[in-house]
């Protein structure tokens, strides 16, 4: 199981696209668990990962993607996780 955490804020103009991308890919890949986290409501959790910008996608607690990747980039990142 691959855990994907998407850090976002309500005011972020790029976050909805990142959230939609992650949800779309997770629907196609059955071994992906997604959690959407509002960085403003969970600042301690965002700080644990050193998140300074949103959207940020964290894969298995380590690999980070800042911004909204292409679908291909995101799938590649998911499949390259150990």
pLDDT for the residue 79:
86
Helix 15-28 vs helix 71-79: angle between axes, to the nearest 10 degrees? 50
The total number of structural domains in the chain stands at 1
pLDDT at 81: 76
Q: Express each pLDDT in 27-38 by its tens digit.
A: 988 889 999 999
- Three-class secondary structure of residue 62 per DSSP: coil
pLDDT of residue 82: 58
Q: Is residue 63 part of a domain?
A: no
- Indicate whether 45 belongs to any domain: yes
Residue 39 is assigned to a structural domain of this protein = yes
Higher-pLDDT residue of 80 and 51 is 51
Q: Where are the alpha helices (DSSP H) in 1-82?
A: 15-28, 43-48, 71-79
Q: What are the pLDDT digits (tens) for 36-69?
A: 999 999 999 999 999 999 999 999 999 899 999 9
């Amino acid at each position: 199981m691959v855990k994907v955490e998407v850090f976002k804020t309500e005011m972020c103009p790029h976050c909805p696209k990142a959230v939609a991308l992650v949800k779309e890919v997770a629907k196609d890949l059955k071994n992906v668990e997604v959690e959407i986290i509002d960085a403003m409501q969970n600042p301690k959790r965002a700080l644990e990962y050193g998140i300074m910008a949103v959207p940020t996608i964290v894969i298995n607690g380590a690999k980070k993607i800042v911004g909204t990747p292409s679908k291909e980039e995101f799938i590649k990142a998911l499949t390259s996780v150990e």
